Amino acid sequence: MPRTKRNANLKRQSDKRVSKANYEFDVYGDVWKLDANKSLNFRLLEPLELNPKFESNFRRALADYACEFSASYVLNIFIFCRLLFRTGVSDLVEEANIINFKATLKNENQYKLGYIRAFLLDWYDKNFKGIDKGAVELLTSLRLSGNTKGKAVALGCPHSGAYSFEEQVDFINWYVDAYTDRLISLTDYAFIIALQQTGARPIQLTYLYFGDIITRIENGIEHFDVKLPNAKKRNQQIRGSFQLKEEVGEDLILALTAQAKYSLKFVEAHFGIRLLPEQKKLVPIFINEREVTLLDSFSDFQRIQKQTPDLLCMTLKGTHPSVSSIVRKLAHLCPLKTSRIKLDGGYGDLHINPRRFRYTHATNMQLQGASDIVIAEELGHSDTQQVKVYTEFNEDIAERLDDALAPSLTPLAQAFSGTLLDSEKDAVRANDPRSRINNDEGDTVGNCGKFGFCANGAIHCYTCNKFQPWVNAQHEKVLTIVEADRDRKRKLGASEFVLQAQNRTIDAIKVVIQRCKLRKEEMAKEGAVDG
C-alpha cells in the first residue's frame, strides 16, 4: 500500500487518551506527547512500510501502556519494537522474527528483547491481532543473558514474570488502602483480589455466578470454597465444567460476596422484583450492567442465561467495568516502584497485568513444595507440560524459599495505620452506635471512622486506616482467633501467598496490642502525676 494512502487511513481515525503524566494524545496521531520531556514520533515507522492494520493494533496496545506506565518506559518499548519490526515484520510478529531479533543482539544487549517481552505478551492477551501464538510460546520460555541466572520469564522477568514477595505485599497493602479511601471501586477490589488469590484466568472470574460461592460448616468451623468455571476446555460449553478452589481466604469471600450482592441488587432494581434463593444463584458476580438494562423482563434474563451464559457477564475488553479497564485503572493509579527495574537513575513502575498474577500463584506454590501435578491442577492444565517453567529449582529459588517461609512478610511498623482511642467519645463517629466494631464474641474492640459501605469484616479492620481501636479492648482474643485460623489453613496446604492477608492482619493486631500497652503505661503515669 502506498505510504500516503496508509497515512491517510490512519489519520481518518481518532482515539484520544491521557498518559500517566496526564498529557492528552491521539492514538492515531503522528506524535504522542507523554510528558514534558518525552514524545513518540510514529513517522519513524514509515520506512518499515507496516501493514496499516498491524500498525493500528500496535498503536492500540502501546496506548494502553502509555496510559499506565512512565513515558521513559513506553519510549523504550517503542524504540525496541521498531528494532524488532526491522527483522521483516509486516503484519505479524512470528517466531522467526523473535529468533532473528535475538540474533542481532550481543549478550549485553539482550535486555532489549526482555524489555519488550511483557508488552508483546500483553498485546497478544488483549486479542489485538499481530502476534503469532508461536512467538508467544517462544517469548514465554526464552532465556536471555540479561536475566539473573538465566531464569525463564515466569520466574525472573521484572516486567512480565512472577512478582517478588516484596512486590506482592506492597501491592496488597496499596490496593486495600486504595479501596478504603475510595480510589478504586468494589468491583475493582473484588476482581483484583480474586485474580491474586486464585491464579485463575481473567475470563474464568468473569464467568463466576453467585451460586459459585460456597460456605460450609465442618466441626463447628466455617470453610469457604469457590466453584471456578473452567476455561479453554475443548468441546465444552461455557460453565460446562468447574474447578473447586477449596479453603480460600475469608477476605476473598467477603469481597466476592459483597460484589455479588451489588449485582443482585442491580438486577432486582432493574426488573422491580425480589429474587428467590435459586434465582440468585444464576446472577453473575461481575455483571454486565449494560446488557442487563437492554432486557425488558426477568424471564428474558433467565432465557439469556440458558442460551448464552456469558452474555450478561463482565467483558474482557470495553468500557468500565471490564477486565482491561480495571487493570488499566489500577496500573494508572498505582504509585509503586520496583527495585528490579532501573530507569533513568531511579526505579521503574510496578507492572500490573493478569498474566503475572497467574505466574506468581504458580511460583508461590512451587516455593512451598507443590508438585508439578498439583500446580497443573491448580492452574487448570490437563498435563504438567505447561508448568515446567515454574519448577526449575536453582540456588536463587532456594533463597526465595527461605523468604517465603518467613513468619512475617511485612514490617510490624507498617501494619497498622489507624488511630488509637483512649475513649469512644474521641471517635470520629462517637454518636453513631453502628460504628462500633465487635469481635466474634460480641465484645467491642473499636470504632469505624468511615461513612459508607465496607466489604471487609471486623478482623480486617485492623489493617484499615479508618479503624479506631480502643485502648482497653480485648485485642488479644482477636489475635488468638486469627492466628489459629491461619495455622489451620496452613496445615490444610494453603500457600503462603494465600496467607499473606492474614499475616498482615496478625502484624497489625500485634501493633495495636503493643501500642495499647504503651498507652496504658502512659495513662498510669499521668494518673500518678495528677494525684
Give pLDDT, residue 38: 85
Instruction: Give Cβ neighbours of residue 328 (< 8 Å, ≥ 6 apart).
Output: 64, 67, 68
Same domain, 112 and 194: no
Q: What is the pLDDT of residues 201-227, one digit of tens each?
A: 898 999 999 999 998 888 877 888 999
Q: Are residues 91 and 224 in the same domain?
A: no
Q: What is the 3-state secondary structure (H, E, C) of 51-113?
A: CHHHHHHHHHHHHHHHHHCCHHHHHHHHHHHHHHHCCCCCCCECHHHHHHHHHCCCHHHCHHH
Per-residue cell: 318: 470495553
Q: Where among 125, 146, 167 does a domain terminate?
A: 146
**Residue 97 binned pLDDT confidence (cut-offs 50, 70, 90):** very high
Summarize the confidence of residues 225-232 as an average pLDDT.
85
Instruction: State the DSSP code for 421.
Output: B
> Has residue 64 been placed in a domain?
yes
Whole-number average pLDDT of the chain: 81
Instruction: Report the C-alpha gap between 118 and 65 in whole angstroms.
Output: 11
Q: Does residue 384 form part of some domain?
A: no
User: What's the pLDDT tens digit per position in 140-157?
Assistant: 877 766 443 334 444 467
Give the per-residue pLDDT at 526. 77
Q: Is residue 451 over pLDDT 70?
A: no
Whether 96 has a pLDDT exceeding 90, the answer reads: yes
- Give the count of domains, the chain: 3
From 295, 320, 345, the end of a domain falls on 320
Pair 18, 92 in one domain: yes
Please report, rounded to a whole number, the percentage of residues in the chain having pLDDT higher than 70.
82
**For residue 295, what pLDDT is reported?**
95
Q: Cα-flanking dihedrals φ and ψ of residue 320, to 5°?
A: -70, 135
- 267, part of any domain: yes
pLDDT, residue 412, reads 43
* Domain identity same for 7 and 142: yes
Residue 321: pLDDT band with limits 50, 70, 90: confident
- Of 48-57, 307-316, 504-513, highest mean pLDDT: 48-57
Residue 283 in domain = yes
Considering the domain architecture, whether residues 202 and 253 belong to the same structural domain is answered as yes
- Residue 456 confidence (pLDDT) above 70: no
Range of the domain at 423: 412-530
pLDDT at 365 over 90: no
Query: Residue 284 falls within a domain, yes or no?
Result: yes
Give pLDDT, residue 8: 52
Count of Cβ atoms closer than 10 Å to residue 318 Cβ: 13
Tell me which of 146, 178, 213 is where a domain ends.
Answer: 146
Euclidean distance between CA atoms 197 and 358, whole angstroms: 9
* 268-282, 326-340, 428-442, 508-522: the lowest-pLDDT one: 428-442
Q: Please tell me the predicted confidence (pLDDT) of residue 150.
A: 31
Together in a domain, 90 and 198: no
The pLDDT of 516-531, averaged and rounded, is 76
Give me the pLDDT at residue 235, please: 53
Region of residue 485 (phi > 0: left; psi between -120 and 50: alpha; otherwise: beta): alpha
For residue 413, the model assigns a pLDDT of 43
> Residue 282 is which amino acid?
L
pLDDT surpasses 60 at 72: yes
Alpha helices in 207-322 (DSSP H): 250-271, 277-280, 289-293, 298-307
Q: What's residue 401's pLDDT?
A: 39
188: buried, middle or exposed (CB in 10 Å: 19+, 13-18, 0-12)? Answer: buried
- Same domain? For 201 and 105 the reply is no
Mean pLDDT to the nearest integer, 130-141:
89
Shared domain for 424 and 520, answered yes or no, is yes
pLDDT at residue 398 in the model: 43
Is residue 62 included in any domain, yes or no? yes
- Label residue 115 by pLDDT band (50, 70, 90): confident
Is residue 401 a part of any domain in this protein? Answer: no
| Cβ atoms 162, 398 nearer than 8 A | no
Paired residues of 31 in beta bridges: 41
Ranges 38-52, 155-169, 479-493, most confident: 38-52
Same domain, 224 and 98: no
- Do 32 and 97 belong to one domain? yes
d(CA 405, CA 124) in angstroms, rounded, equals: 35
In this prediction, residue 410 carries a pLDDT of 38
